Structure 1
Amino acid sequence: MSSRVRPGYIRQEVNNTTWEVPERYQRLRQVGSGAYGTVCSAVDSRTRTKVAIKKLYRPFQSELFAKRAYRELRLLKHMKHENVIGLLDVFTADLSLDKLHDFYLVMPFMGTDLGKVLKLQRLSEEKIQYLVYQMLRGLKYIHSAGIIHRDLKPGNLAVNEDCELKVPRTNNNQTSSNQCIYHTCFLRVSKMYMSPGQILDFGLARQADSEMTGYVVTRWYRAPEVILSWMRYTQTVDIWSVGCIMAEMLQGKPLFKGSDHLDQLREIMKTTGTPTQEFISKLESEDAKRYIESLPKMEKKDLRSVFSTANPQAVSVLQRMLLLDPENRVSAAEGLTLPYFKEYREPEGEKEAEPYDHSVDNSDLTLSQWKRHTFTEILTFKPVVINPKETSL
């Protein structure tokens, strides 16, 4: 690496890693790291806001790493919705394509996540209503772009540092003043999938299961078809996860707490009942069919008795989400119209995304070609101000 620093940039060491960032970003502090990158918090002196800056670890060390880095940049650039964390800035201190070695992604700083919040407090009915509404709004947006999250869980719902949720009501002509951010947490493993099934990493790139801290927990929110790879994923895998998260907020504990993949499935079926023959016939895996058919028959539970103290409208939402057959689950767009969310609806904020063009993402390119595409994306980035509403979780 050259000892020369690009004009307008500063170089500093953060936990034995060299960072070269524009002078506007000050007070860098490492807040997390993973196999593929490191994240620092910083203060943007231009906007006087706290941001998260991610430095990818040697993004051009191989074609695989370069492809992953390009896809992450493309996806972040595409996200322009107040319930989905997008890109505030992207930069490199390298002055030309042939010298391109590192680049940095700047995102809003979210100081905590829903998982941590749930460990500290039970949420009120109105908070649960509003949070689930926000999740569905974010999901409607990413689903409309042809993107599936696939690993939605409380730890992947990043929220602002202020954990005092001020829930606005919209039925008394007040303007919503809360922004509950739906997004994968910077420091958690996350996966986003392009329809139909193209892997796209978002946030810190995925690690092997054995490397994932608390991996058992991540299984608790996964749709049954994901757990055993029964069939091609659809966007309703995310709806199942929202149902699990909502159920946990209502109960104060996870709904399906399996100790391994098969135990997770058994826990699910204690509530949903064993699948019908009609559903089994849809499974693409013969092994999955045989396994399901070998299970003892379990009857479906009435969620109204499982959640006997909950708002009946909340239970109605869960009944639409926690269905074994993904084809029967409610979509994010349909979920937003359910009576449970009527009090907080802002239809003008329930936007759809522009279609995501993943033609380049799916290509097999050389390392130099991936670098060229990435450099072009960096140079063409134009920040879009979404004007998010003040305050948050």
Structure 2
Amino acid sequence: MAELPRYRLEIFFEGGEAHVYLAVDRTTNQQVAVRILKHSLEDGFAAKRAVREVLFMKHCKHDNIINLLDVFVTSISLKPALAIVMPKKQYSLRYFNDPSNRKTWADDYLLLRVCNIIYCILSGIEYLHLNGIKHRDLSLNNIMVDDTCNATIIDFGLCRGPAQNAKITEGPTTLGYRAPEAYTSNYTQKVDLWSIGCIFYELITGEMYLRPTIKSTDVHETQLLTMISQYKSDETFIDMFKTVVSPGRHSLLEAARPTTLRRTFELIRWPEDQSGGATRDNAIDLLENLLKFNPNERCTASEALVSPFFADYGHKTTVPETKIIDLPYCRDVFKALDDIGNDINPTNDQKFINVLKQVLVDYEVQERQICIHKAHETCVNCHQIL
């Protein structure tokens, strides 16, 4: 297996957007995960996405959000790419919830375990939202969990600020967790709450909610934009939605009507109620509020965290004095990225290189003097040095 100067690589995983290695940091003997972002220095779109991910990870400090330990440029995957180093976590929630693994934890204490996982996810998302950030790609793949059911949010490649609402009908976003309004550019942070509702349902039942979901090709953009702007209630929205989706998907919409939604949840084979707030009725109430088709009626993360389901946690919201998205440094980086086109060659574009230097300024990449053309440890011929 290939090696990095500081990290001893041990196990390799192939991901959709990244190569992931489990590794050991030779300087600290700490187990870490090295995530090499594919194509991150091959075109402008991927490069800007990678820089945003590093920027958000660099500034987000919360127990339920993954830490950024190091970032550097490497050519271990043949082409130069950004590599992000994070603490090693035990399992992805996808692995944890796999049928072969559910039997080890989906027992009489299922509600308590799921309660803690969802509380952790909501706590991390509340922190992001209060700092002006939408995650936009929550799924079982992007949540890590340990044996005590403490969850950590990862993968910030699709994160955006409040005014950055690129449509997410294409790309890696998992269809089964995508809110209805996310098929347009007219959506808010509430898209993350829908995704959490889908995760909640899947952890309880072992099955995805609304599978298969509505595909972007089923909906004409201008019609859906009009529908979103005319939200009145879930009932009227679903009636409008049925006019622009294929008849084969109407049954999915009927299942989401307020008159049938609770009945759908009540038919789930629920485990025994647990002490405190972790009861079937409280769980159903929270699911209903997370899975409202109308985002105006959907709860916020802060509202969800004080629901009776989390009565034992005594959650208190802490509002930051300054949002991460409003920090002058972050505003400058976002503006600079907006001024850079998607058709650039990141390894030759001086504007992008200057932004990258600015974002990576606190990391050892500065000391290693890595060249983003060849990812050499030292480069005597290249003038574009990090």
TM-score scaled to structure 1, two decimals? Answer: 0.67
Q: Is the 8 A contact 1:77 1:381 kept in 2?
A: no
Distance 1:223 1:282 in 2: 17
Equivalent positions of 1:179-190 (< 5 A) are 179-184=150-155
Partner amino acid, structure 1, of 2:209: L
Does 2:212 match 1:254? no
Does 2:31 match 1:50? yes
Distance 1:277 1:60 in 2: 41
Q: Is the 8 A contact 1:148 1:192 kept in 2?
A: yes
Partner of 1:388: none
Distance 1:142 1:262 in 2: 27
Equivalent positions of 1:112-151 (< 5 A) are 112-119=91-98, 120-121=101-102, 122=106, 124-151=110-137
Distance 1:147 1:264 in 2: 29
The DSSP-based 3-state class of the residue aligned with 1:158 is strand
TM-score scaled to structure 2, two decimals? Answer: 0.68
Q: Is the 8 A contact 2:50 2:82 kept in 1?
A: no
Distance 1:224 1:51, change over 3 A: same
**Structure 1 residue 240 displacement after superposition:** 0.9
Does 2:8 match 1:32? no
Distance 1:82 1:71 in 2: 20
Distance 2:318 2:137 in 1: 24
Detail structure 1 runs of 4+ shifted over 4 Å in the superposition. 206-209, 262-265, 279-283, 287-290, 292-299, 348-353
Offset from partner CA, 1:337-359 (integer Å, 9 cap, x none): 11111213453789788322333
Partner amino acid, structure 2, of 1:224: P
The DSSP-based 3-state class of the residue aligned with 2:160 is strand
Gaps of 5+ in 2: 220-228, 271-278, 365-386
The DSSP-based 3-state class of the residue aligned with 2:352 is helix
Gaps of 5+ in 1: 1-12, 95-100, 167-178, 201-205, 266-274, 383-393
Distance 2:35 2:120 in 1: 25
Distance 2:13 2:198 in 1: 28
| One of 84, 105, 110 as aligned partner of 2:89 | 110
Distance 1:290 1:330, change over 3 A: same
RMSD value, Cα: 4.0
**Structure 1 residue 371 displacement after superposition:** 0.9
The DSSP-based 3-state class of the residue aligned with 1:184 is coil
The DSSP-based 3-state class of the residue aligned with 2:136 is coil
**Structure 1 residue 263 displacement after superposition:** 11
Offset from partner CA, 1:146-173 (integer Å, 9 cap, x none): 221222111221234xxx336xxxxxxx
Distance 1:254 1:375, change over 3 A: same
**Structure 1 residue 82 displacement after superposition:** 1.3
Offset from partner CA, 1:301-345 (integer Å, 9 cap, x none): 344433334611111111211111101111001111111112134
Partner of 1:156: 142
**Structure 1 residue 362 displacement after superposition:** 2.2
Q: Is the 8 A contact 1:114 1:157 kept in 2?
A: yes
The DSSP-based 3-state class of the residue aligned with 2:21 is strand
Does 2:330 match 1:376? no
Q: Is the 8 A contact 2:282 2:309 kept in 1?
A: yes
Structure with the bigger RCO (C-alpha within 8 Å, sep 6+) is: 1
Offset from partner CA, 1:230-277 (integer Å, 9 cap, x none): x61111111111111112222232221126528999xxxxxxxxx997
Distance 2:317 2:231 in 1: 42
Percent identical pairs in the alignment equals 25
Does 2:233 match 1:233? no
The DSSP-based 3-state class of the residue aligned with 1:347 is coil
